Structure 1
Amino acid sequence: MIFRIKSLQLGVFIFCFMQFSVTCYAQKRPNVLVIISDDQGIGDFGFMGNKTVKSPNLDRLAKESAVFEKLVVAPACSPTRSSIMTGRNHLLAGVWGVGARNNLLRDEHLIPEYFKDAGYHTGYFGKRDGVYNHEKQIWDWGCDEASHVTGYKHKDAVSITQTGNVQRKGWTVDVDVDNSLDFIKRQGDNSWWCTTAFILPHLPWIPDERFAKPYRDAGHSKTLADFYGCVTQMDDAVGRLLKGLDDLGQLDNTIVLFLSDNGPTYKDMSDIDIKSRNILDLKGQKSTVWENGIVVPFMVRWPKKIVPGIRKQFATVEDILPTLIDLAALKQTLPDQLPFDGISLKPALMDENAASIDRQVLRVAISGKGAAGTYAGFRGIVNNPKEVSIEEQHLVLRGERYKYHNFADGNTALYDIIRDPTESIDISTQYLEINKLFEMELEKQYAKILNSERVFRMPIVKIRDVNGQGYNKVYGAMAEKAFGVNEILKFNNLKGFSAKGDNASYTISVEKAGEYKIQIFGENFSNESDWEIEYNEKRYSYSILNRNEMIFNMVQFDKPGLQTFSLKVNNNMAGLAMPVVEQLNFIYTKFN
Structure 2
Amino acid sequence: MTFCKSICLLSYFIVSLSFCRLAADANAAKHTNVILIMTDDQGGWDYGFMGNKILNTPNLDAMAAGGARLSRFYVSPVCTPTRANLMTGRYNYRTRAIDTYIGRAMMEPEETTIAEVLAPAGYKTGIFGKWHLGDSYPMRPQDQGFQEVLVHRGGGIGQPSDPPEGAGKYTDPVLFHNGEQKRMKGYCTDIYFDHAMKFIEQNESQDKPTFIYLATNAPHGPFHDVPEDLRQKYKAMDLNDAYGFDLNKRRKNEKLFDDTSRIFSMIENIDQNIGKLFQHLKKIGAYENTLVLFLNDNGPNGPRFVGAHRGMKGRVNEGGIRSVLLAHWPAQLKAGTVNNRIAAHYDVFPTILAATGVDKPEALKLDGVNVLPLLQNQAESWPERALFLQWHRGDEPTPRTNAAVVTQNYKMTFSKENEPGKLFDLTKDPAESKDLAGKKAKLAKKLTRQYNNWFSDVSSTRPDNYAPPRIHVGNSKEPTTVLTRQDWRYSGPKGKGWTRDARGNWLVTVEQAGAYDIKVQFQKQEDRVATELTVQVGDDQFQAKVPADQSEFVFKNVSLHQGKQTVDVKVAEGSIERGPMFVYLTKNK
Same fold (TM over 0.5): yes
Q: Is the 8 A contact 2:532 2:546 kept in 1?
A: no
Relative to structure 1, the CA distance from residue 241 to residue 467 in structure 2 (aligned partners, 3 Å threshold; closer, same or farther) is closer
Q: Sequence identity of aligned pairs in percent? A: 24
2:189 & 2:492 partners in 1: Cα distance? 42
Higher RCO, Cα 8 Å, sep 6+:
2
Q: Is the 8 A contact 1:525 1:579 kept in 2?
A: no
- The answer for the alignment partner of 1:47 in structure 2 is 49
- The answer for the alignment partner of 2:345 in structure 1 is 317
The reply to whether residue 262 of structure 1 matches residue 298 of structure 2 is yes
Map of 1:125-144 to 2, 5 A cutoff? 125-130=128-133, 133-144=136-147
- Out of 410-419 and 250-259, give the one that drifted further: 410-419
Query: Matched residue of 1:300: which SS?
Result: strand
- The answer for the alignment partner of 1:442 in structure 2 is 451
Relative to structure 1, the CA distance from residue 477 to residue 225 in structure 2 (aligned partners, 3 Å threshold; closer, same or farther) is closer
Q: Is the 8 A contact 1:86 1:108 kept in 2?
A: yes
Map of 1:350-361 to 2, 5 A cutoff? 350-351=376-377, 354-361=380-387
- The answer for the alignment partner of 2:94 in structure 1 is 92
User: Amino acid of the residue matched to residue 201 of structure 1?
Assistant: P
Q: Deviations over 1:147-205 (max 9, x none)?
A: 22454343212231126233221222222222122122222233222232222222233
1:564 & 1:31 partners in 2: Cα distance? 43
- The answer for the alignment partner of 2:323 in structure 1 is 296
- Out of 113-122 and 248-257, give the one that drifted further: 113-122
- The answer for the alignment partner of 1:397 in structure 2 is 405
- The answer for the alignment partner of 1:584 in structure 2 is 583
1:351 & 1:24 partners in 2: Cα distance? 19
Relative to structure 1, the CA distance from residue 541 to residue 325 in structure 2 (aligned partners, 3 Å threshold; closer, same or farther) is closer
User: Amino acid of the residue matched to residue 68 of structure 1?
Assistant: L
Relative to structure 1, the CA distance from residue 476 to residue 148 in structure 2 (aligned partners, 3 Å threshold; closer, same or farther) is closer
Larger Rg: 1
- The answer for the alignment partner of 1:457 in structure 2 is 467
* Aligned with residue 167 of structure 1, among 169, 183, 198: 183
How far is 1:111 from its partner? 1.6
How far is 1:587 from its partner? 4.7
- The answer for the alignment partner of 1:155 in structure 2 is 171
Relative to structure 1, the CA distance from residue 23 to residue 409 in structure 2 (aligned partners, 3 Å threshold; closer, same or farther) is closer
1:122 & 1:478 partners in 2: Cα distance? 26
Q: Is the 8 A contact 1:26 1:190 kept in 2?
A: no
Q: Is the 8 A contact 1:126 1:147 kept in 2?
A: yes
- The answer for the alignment partner of 1:184 in structure 2 is 200
How far is 1:81 from its partner? 1.9
- The answer for the alignment partner of 2:545 in structure 1 is 544
Query: Matched residue of 1:122: which SS?
Result: strand
- The answer for the alignment partner of 1:305 in structure 2 is 332
Map of 1:495-534 to 2, 5 A cutoff? 495-496=502-503, 506-516=506-516, 518-523=518-523
1:180 & 1:31 partners in 2: Cα distance? 12
2:534 & 2:517 partners in 1: Cα distance? 13
Relative to structure 1, the CA distance from residue 304 to residue 354 in structure 2 (aligned partners, 3 Å threshold; closer, same or farther) is farther
2:412 & 2:423 partners in 1: Cα distance? 5
TM-score, normalisation: structure 1: 0.79
Map of 1:40-79 to 2, 5 A cutoff? 40-79=42-81
Query: Matched residue of 2:109: which SS?
Result: coil
2:510 & 2:435 partners in 1: Cα distance? 52
Relative to structure 1, the CA distance from residue 473 to residue 454 in structure 2 (aligned partners, 3 Å threshold; closer, same or farther) is farther
Q: Is the 8 A contact 2:121 2:358 kept in 1?
A: yes
1:25 & 1:58 partners in 2: Cα distance? 27
- The answer for the alignment partner of 1:378 in structure 2 is none
2:193 & 2:490 partners in 1: Cα distance? 42
Relative to structure 1, the CA distance from residue 55 to residue 429 in structure 2 (aligned partners, 3 Å threshold; closer, same or farther) is same
How far is 1:218 from its partner? 2.9
Q: Deviations over 1:478-502 (max 9, x none)?
A: 4557375651126xx8825xxxxxx
How far is 1:343 from its partner? 0.6
RMSD: 3.3
1:173 & 1:199 partners in 2: Cα distance? 8
1:199 & 1:53 partners in 2: Cα distance? 19
2:292 & 2:445 partners in 1: Cα distance? 40
- The answer for the alignment partner of 1:101 in structure 2 is 104
How far is 1:73 from its partner? 0.6
How far is 1:409 from its partner? 6.7
Unaligned segments of structure 1, at least 5 residues: 1-21, 267-273, 366-370, 374-381, 497-503
1:93 & 1:132 partners in 2: Cα distance? 16
Q: Deviations over 1:198-248 (max 9, x none)?
A: 222222334322223332333444333222221111101100111111122
2:531 & 2:175 partners in 1: Cα distance? 39
User: Amino acid of the residue matched to residue 402 of structure 1?
Assistant: Y
Relative to structure 1, the CA distance from residue 540 to residue 262 in structure 2 (aligned partners, 3 Å threshold; closer, same or farther) is same
The reply to whether residue 112 of structure 1 matches residue 103 of structure 2 is no
Relative to structure 1, the CA distance from residue 312 to residue 566 in structure 2 (aligned partners, 3 Å threshold; closer, same or farther) is same
- The answer for the alignment partner of 1:193 in structure 2 is 211
How far is 1:321 from its partner? 0.8
Q: Is the 8 A contact 1:476 1:583 kept in 2?
A: yes
How far is 1:405 from its partner? 2.0
- The answer for the alignment partner of 1:11 in structure 2 is none
Q: Is the 8 A contact 1:84 1:317 kept in 2?
A: yes
- The answer for the alignment partner of 1:212 in structure 2 is 231
User: Amino acid of the residue matched to residue 118 of structure 2?
Assistant: F
TM-score, normalisation: structure 2: 0.79
How far is 1:534 from its partner? 5.9
Query: Matched residue of 1:351: which SS?
Result: coil
How far is 1:278 from its partner? 1.3
User: Amino acid of the residue matched to residue 375 of structure 2?
Assistant: L
How far is 1:553 from its partner? 7.7
How far is 1:294 from its partner? 1.0
Relative to structure 1, the CA distance from residue 455 to residue 395 in structure 2 (aligned partners, 3 Å threshold; closer, same or farther) is farther
How far is 1:420 from its partner? 1.6
1:495 & 1:86 partners in 2: Cα distance? 33
How far is 1:528 from its partner? 11
Relative to structure 1, the CA distance from residue 456 to residue 488 in structure 2 (aligned partners, 3 Å threshold; closer, same or farther) is farther
2:534 & 2:134 partners in 1: Cα distance? 35
* Aligned with residue 416 of structure 2, among 408, 427, 446: 408
Q: Is the 8 A contact 1:69 1:311 kept in 2?
A: yes
1:454 & 1:344 partners in 2: Cα distance? 30
How far is 1:473 from its partner? 2.9
How far is 1:63 from its partner? 0.6
Map of 1:326-345 to 2, 5 A cutoff? 326-333=354-361, 337-345=363-371
* Aligned with residue 233 of structure 1, among 269, 274, 287: 269
How far is 1:554 from its partner? 7.8
2:323 & 2:56 partners in 1: Cα distance? 18
2:152 & 2:315 partners in 1: Cα distance? 26
Number of residue pairs matched by the alignment = 525
User: Amino acid of the residue matched to residue 544 of structure 1?
Assistant: K
The reply to whether residue 418 of structure 1 matches residue 454 of structure 2 is no
2:477 & 2:348 partners in 1: Cα distance? 36
- The answer for the alignment partner of 1:499 in structure 2 is none
